[in-house]
Amino acid sequence: MIKTEKDLELKVKECSKNLSDKYSGKNGKISVLVCSGTGCLATGAKDLLETLQEEIKNHGLEGKVEASKVGCFGFCSQGPFVKIVPQNIVYRAVKVEDIKEIIEKTIVGGEILERLLYVDPVTKEKVSKLEDMAFYKKQVKVALYGCGVVNPEDINEALGNGAYQGLVKALKMDPQEVINEVLASGLRGRGGGGFPTGRKWQFAHDQVNDEKYVICNGDEGDPGAFMDEGILEGNPLGVIEGMTIAGYAIGAKQGYFYVRAEYPTAVARLKNAIAQAKEMGFLGKNILNTGFDFNIGIRLGAGAFVCGEETALLNSIEGKRGMPRPRPPFPAVKGLWQHPSIINNVETLACVPYILREGASKFNSLGTEKSKGTKVFALGGKVNNVGLVEVPMGITLRELIYDIGGGIPNGKKFKAIQTGGPSGGCLTEKDLDTPIDYDNLVAKGSMMGSGGAIVMDEDNCMVDVAKFYMDFICDESCGKCSPCRIGTKRMLEILNKITDGNGTMEDLDELEELAQVVKANSVCGLGQTSANPIVSTMKQFREEYIAHIVDKKCPAHVCKNLMEYKIVADKCKGCTLCARNCPVKAISGTVKMPHVIDQSKCIKCGLCLANCKFDAIIKE
């Protein structure tokens, strides 16, 4: 239990030494760090760690070699990652079968296993250090602080890496001074809205009320986004510290995390971190002997996207259906249980300790004029390097996709990048040199959103993408207000009509009109932004809509009713593989003679194309 600042100083000194000794090898040990983010866990990181621990025993290396977890490295498509220090060697895509060799050759023998090294897709060179990989060169870790460095389940490592220095500083300041620092930093809400965080705090601070709440919105529902998941898994204490600072600033004694139940690892890390913080005295009564009391609870979502909307989230914590409340009153005035509350996104709170620790001026030296600091993106879809990246605001989309993301796989052509999820829009080739910030993305017809960045190539149909998002929103609409409930349904019906090949040009006008009505009249952000993917794709890819409607063709060959599988007679060797695999017996022909697909029977499952070894089957 740390009761005074003096206690803390001693503790931090000890923890810093342990951590730096671990990395320098001064502790006389070799440490093997296994990435424990969801991406790597899904590809076997848990088994890797267990096997490592077993093999260390089998080789009699206990006390000399140690294996431990480390927060997400971010480079998920190359996982699972294993890092060996002090040698500073990083292996990628490690399998359980590789462990024995890693121990015998690398750890005991000092030899680098070339086949486990990352190969730069451009230079074709093998790279053994993270810092030499292009993926990391433009990244700056603020919200993801400590990810890939410390064990997210061990508060001692975090303390050795600067955790709680922000709170210590904050507690020496007056609450108003803390708010001023956050205001000066220029931090804006990372959940998508971009509202200045300091101003939100000021509203809640100015309310006279004995009972106030800080709520962390971890209901990251955007499909294809996993920034908050990565932060909660890799830097849980950072978010807890940020929440504690927020509590001190606005005068709250209680905070709640609202996390989606789809993130079991994040919830477990958070629970563990809260328990450790409590035990050390960073949560509870009279924190660091300053008289400040603060506690944190966790509430889980139950699979409703709309609960990411702040007032719906409040209703959900209150045990009600997650439907939004009319505003005003704003949550800062009447929030949880009708008391003043602030609701901040995970990433927003994760930036707060940095601002206090390093100072507002250091934070706002990063970024653009109106968007300060960094932004975490979940880079996914048709891009070589899928993963979690944190970059200074103002970096261009081209740098994000090509320098960090390594470009588009399989030599395909870039088509669009979707940002902002179901509330956002698509940006194309002509927007690639736009510096990323809140205002620029809105000006280009998309939005920052929470950080999902899905890259699409020539094989993606943009009408289908718009339909995907509308289907999502229609399903997730809570049903409270009719513009959203009925409007999204009608828009989805029209999109289905178009992709089925029954669309008319009037449908496009009707979509535009409906989009306006739903935007202007829905109660909450979910409805108000629901038509954005349609509006944006109609603007950028109108010719694709027209091809579906007028030519009855899907140019990307995605919409089943508007495409056919065909066998190119010249290429077909008559191997019969396709015919044997066809689930509906739509393919006929004699052995060693070109086969034919009966279009009236074909269900367009694509199995023939997947099985053909001669590239004789094409989509048209």
Partner 1 sequence: MAKLSASAVKQIKEIINRYRDERTPLMMILSDIQKEYGYIPLDVQELVSEETGIPVAEIYGVVTFYSFFSLNPKGKYVIGVCLGTACYVKGGQQIIDKFSELLGIKPGETTEDGLFTLSALRCIGACSIAPAVNINGKVYPKMTVDKVIKVVEEYRKLGGAN
Site residues (CB under 8 A) for partner 1? 38-39, 41-43, 76-77, 79, 221-226, 229-230, 261-264, 299-305, 316-322, 337, 378, 380-382, 386-387, 418, 421, 452, 454, 456, 460, 465, 468-469, 472, 478, 583, 605-607, 610
Least Å distance, CB 77 to partner 1, is 4
Place of tokens 């030519």: 551
Using an 8 Å Cβ cutoff, are 230 and 144 in contact?
Answer: yes
Least Å distance, CB 64 to partner 1, is 33
Least Å distance, CB 46 to partner 1, is 11
HSE-CB at 418 with a 13 A cutoff on CA atoms is: 28
Using alpha carbons only, give the angle 536, 537, 541 rounded to the nearest 5 degrees: 130
Count of all residues that appear for the chain in the document: 620
* Token pair listed for 331: 């949550």
Distance CA 188, CA 311 (A): 19
Question: Which is closer to partner 1, CB of 314 or CB of 567?
Answer: 314
Distance CA 531, CA 516 (A): 8
User: Sign of torsion, CA 599 601 603 609?
Assistant: negative
Least Å distance, CB 339 to partner 1, is 11
Question: Which is closer to partner 1, CB of 93 or CB of 173?
Answer: 93
Closest to 332 (Cα-Cα) out of 243, 188, 209: 209
* Token pair listed for 295: 């506690």
Using an 8 Å Cβ cutoff, are 378 and 225 in contact?
Answer: yes
Distance CA 310, CA 160 (A): 35
| Rg (alpha carbons) of the chain, rounded to whole number | 27
Question: Which is closer to partner 1, CB of 41 or CB of 167?
Answer: 41
Least Å distance, CB 310 to partner 1, is 16
Question: Which is closer to partner 1, CB of 99 or CB of 383?
Answer: 383
Question: Which is closer to partner 1, CB of 172 or CB of 413?
Answer: 413
Least Å distance, CB 159 to partner 1, is 27
Answer whether the bond into residue 223 is a cis peptide, omega within 30°: no
Distance CA 273, CA 187 (A): 25
Residues 6+ apart with CB under 8 A from 183: 196, 198, 199, 202
* Token pair listed for 479: 């049903």
Least Å distance, CB 204 to partner 1, is 19
Question: Which is closer to partner 1, CB of 275 or CB of 443?
Answer: 275
Least Å distance, CB 556 to partner 1, is 11
Place of tokens 């993963």: 387
Least Å distance, CB 120 to partner 1, is 18
Question: Which is closer to partner 1, CB of 87 or CB of 611?
Answer: 611
Question: Which is closer to partner 1, CB of 263 or CB of 354?
Answer: 263
Question: Which is closer to partner 1, CB of 320 or CB of 327?
Answer: 320
Query: 615: burial class by Cβ within 10 Å (0-12, 13-18, 19+)?
Result: exposed
